[in-house]
């Protein structure tokens, strides 16, 4: 009885080993009582674990359109409501007046003299040239003022200021159409291509333009065609998320023209009012890159006409900004200019110079670092700010 009990216990122990060891995987080897070596034990374990293979990441070919990626303010509880353009003008006028007061004061100081001799008029010319007004416009303004002073007998500062204001407004060009063509014809969206060299604030300008349009109750889609800087697409997407505007972007290094094409295509499908396309910052000395920019425009136009090509210029760059403008206008037919970094400088005369050079208007000016520090340009507001 005792012997039988012992055998039964042995059998129970063996059964427990089988159960605890996970079935046949840990059975004693063919009656020899040997466990599998660690390497085989690992293999047995892996056999019973499912590992679905991760799909290979899809990389678009050169002829393939980049995938859509829309991000309309994901995770944002309350979307921002941008400031209305009119409110911006009132707020920014004071800032522009302070930043450019040296130009206005310099002009008024000369015209306020009782004796306007040749030296005084030369000083006036120097002040205008230092403000990047340009030789041609400066000569025109000074000659017109001299004529008015002589013919009208202007002999007091207030009348001189009034004459200067009128001449400056005429020089800036109040008759120019500064509206943004942000809606296309025949039910198509307006397509606004934004171009410019690195460092001018181009991507930021696109984000700010989106805010201007949202404040006017327009629907907007952003196209991140600057595929050479990963940060540019991320930056643009962030601007869009803040006001609920989707961004279409492709893989890093994708063909910029294909991204632009895709953005316009999606804008048509979604029925938006405006597609804003950010492009890579082109160095105007690199012919190949400039040719590529022309390609972005040509390809995007296969979907819908380009309604605006806005050139972003840093107002502090002076004559270098004018050279940039010349080259860009030859490649993509610039229709308007956005002047950034106009605050903190007495270089406001570049407004006149760039318009004379290109024959197109300045449509927006950037006057600070805030999200809504971009305002539609108005000739009279600008001149009054200079002379305040």
In the predicted model, what is the mean pLDDT of residues 44-48?
31
In the predicted model, what is the mean pLDDT of residues 291-313?
93
280 is in an annotated binding site: yes
160 is in an annotated binding site: no
Tell me, what DSSP letter sits at residue 189?
A: B
Give SS3 for 128.
Answer: helix
Bridge partners, residue 362, by sequence:
337
Task: Please name which of 331, 287, 290, 314 lies closest in space to residue 199, comparing C-alpha atoms.
Answer: 314
Q: What is the pLDDT of residue 140?
A: 94
200 is in an annotated binding site: yes
Domain coordinates of the chain in residue numbers? 10-40, 88-172, 180-378
295 is in an annotated binding site: no
Give the count of beta carbons closer than 10 Å to the beta carbon of residue 145: 23
Q: What is the chain's alpha carbon radius of gyration, rounded to the nearest angstrom?
A: 34
H helical segments located in the chain: 2-20, 38-47, 85-99, 101-111, 118-130, 135-152, 157-172, 202-215, 230-243, 256-270, 287-300, 319-332, 350-358, 379-387
89 vs 40, more confident: 89
Class of domain 88-172: mainly alpha
Q: What is the pLDDT of residue 336?
A: 96
> What tokens does 239 get?
């601007």
In the predicted model, what is the mean pLDDT of residues 132-160?
89
Fold agreement (88-172, 180-378): no
196 is in an annotated binding site: yes
250 is in an annotated binding site: no
CA distance 360 to 363: 9
Residue 37 pLDDT > 70: no
302 is in an annotated binding site: no
Long-range contacts of 109-118 (CB under 8 A, 24+ apart): 111/145, 111/157, 111/160, 111/161, 111/163, 111/164, 112/157, 112/160, 114/155, 116/146, 116/149
Average pLDDT, the chain: 78
Residue 36 pLDDT > 80: no
In the predicted model, what is the mean pLDDT of residues 289-303?
89
Residue 7 pLDDT > 50: yes
Run of H or E including 312: strand 308-314
The lowest-confidence range among 48-52, 125-129, 322-326 is 48-52
Q: What is the pLDDT of residue 209?
A: 96
CA distance 375 to 227: 28
Residue 12 pLDDT > 80: no
Q: What is the pLDDT of residue 51?
A: 31
Residue 244 pLDDT > 70: yes
Give residue-wise pLDDT tens across range 168-219.
999 999 999 999 999 999 999 999 999 988 888 899 999 999 999 999 999 9
Task: Please name which of 81, 111, 283, 122 lies closest in space to residue 197, comparing C-alpha atoms.
Answer: 283
Query: What is the β-pairing status of strands 274-278 and 308-314?
Result: unpaired
Q: What confidence tier does 92 reach under pLDDT thresholds 50, 70, 90?
A: low
141 is in an annotated binding site: no
Q: At which residue do the structure tokens 């120019």 appear?
A: 176
Residue 1 pLDDT > 60: no
124 is in an annotated binding site: no
C-alpha distances (whole Å) from 376 to each of 22, 192, 210, 264 are 76, 15, 13, 24
Give residue-wise pLDDT tens across range 259-291.
999 999 999 999 999 999 999 876 666 677 778
Q: What is the pLDDT of residue 11?
A: 53
Residue 32 pLDDT > 90: no
Residue 107 pLDDT > 70: yes
343 is in an annotated binding site: yes
363 is in an annotated binding site: no
Q: What confidence tier does 221 reach under pLDDT thresholds 50, 70, 90?
A: very high
The lowest-confidence range among 39-53, 207-221, 306-320 is 39-53
In the predicted model, what is the mean pLDDT of residues 46-66?
37
Q: What confidence tier does 76 reach under pLDDT thresholds 50, 70, 90?
A: very low
75 is in an annotated binding site: no
In the predicted model, what is the mean pLDDT of residues 145-163?
87
Q: What is the pLDDT of residue 341?
A: 84
C-alpha distances (whole Å) from 123 to each of 166, 252, 256 are 20, 53, 49
335 vs 329, more confident: 335
Share of the chain above pLDDT 90, in %: 38
202 is in an annotated binding site: yes
Beta carbons of 348 and 386 less than 8 angstroms apart: yes
Residue 80 pLDDT > 90: no
Residue 99 pLDDT > 90: no
CATH number of 180-378: 3.40.50.300
Q: What confidence tier does 329 reach under pLDDT thresholds 50, 70, 90?
A: confident
């Amino acid at each position: 009885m005792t012997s039988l009990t012992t055998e039964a216990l042995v059998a129970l122990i063996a059964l427990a080993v089988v159960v605890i060891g996970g079935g046949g995987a840990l059975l004693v080897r063919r009656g020899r009582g040997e466990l599998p070596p660690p390497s085989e034990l690992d293999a047995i374990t892996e056999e019973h674990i499912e590992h679905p293979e991760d799909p290979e990441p899809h990389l678009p070919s050169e002829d393939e359109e980049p995938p859509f990626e829309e991000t309309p303010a994901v995770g944002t509880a309350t979307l921002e409501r941008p400031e209305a353009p009119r409110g911006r003008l009132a707020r920014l006028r004071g800032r522009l007046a302070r930043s450019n007061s040296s130009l206005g004061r310099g002009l008024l100081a000369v015209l306020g003299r009782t004796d306007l001799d040749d030296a005084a008029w030369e000083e006036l010319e120097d002040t205008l040239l230092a403000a990047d007004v340009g030789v041609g416009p400066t000569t025109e303004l000074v000659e017109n003022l001299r004529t008015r002073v002589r013919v009208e007998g202007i002999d007091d500062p207030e009348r001189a200021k009034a004459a200067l204001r009128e001449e400056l407004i005429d020089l800036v060009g109040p008759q120019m159409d500064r509206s943004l063509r942000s809606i296309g014809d025949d039910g198509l969206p307006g397509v606004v291509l934004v171009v410019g060299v690195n460092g001018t604030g181009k991507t930021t300008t696109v984000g700010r333009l989106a805010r201007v349009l949202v404040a006017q109750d327009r629907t907007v889609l952003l196209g991140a065609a600057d595929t050479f800087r990963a940060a540019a697409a991320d930056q643009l997407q962030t601007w869009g998320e803040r006001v609920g505007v989707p961004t279409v972007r492709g893989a890093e290094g994708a063909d910029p023209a294909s991204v632009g094409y895709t953005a316009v295509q999606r804008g048509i499908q979604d029925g938006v009012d405006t597609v804003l396309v950010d492009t890579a910052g082109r160095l105007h000395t690199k012919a190949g890159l400039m040719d590529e920019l022309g390609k972005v425009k040509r390809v995007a136009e296969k979907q819908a006409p380009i309604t605006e090509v806005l050139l972003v210029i840093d107002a502090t760059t002076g004559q270098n900004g004018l050279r940039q403008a010349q080259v860009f206008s030859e490649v993509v037919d610039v229709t308007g200019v956005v002047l950034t970094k106009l605050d903190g400088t007495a270089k406001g005369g570049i407004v006149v110079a760039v318009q004379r050079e290109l024959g197109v208007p300045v449509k927006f000016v950037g006057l600070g670092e805030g999200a809504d520090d971009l305002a539609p340009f108005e000739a009279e507001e600008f001149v009054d700010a200079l002379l305040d």
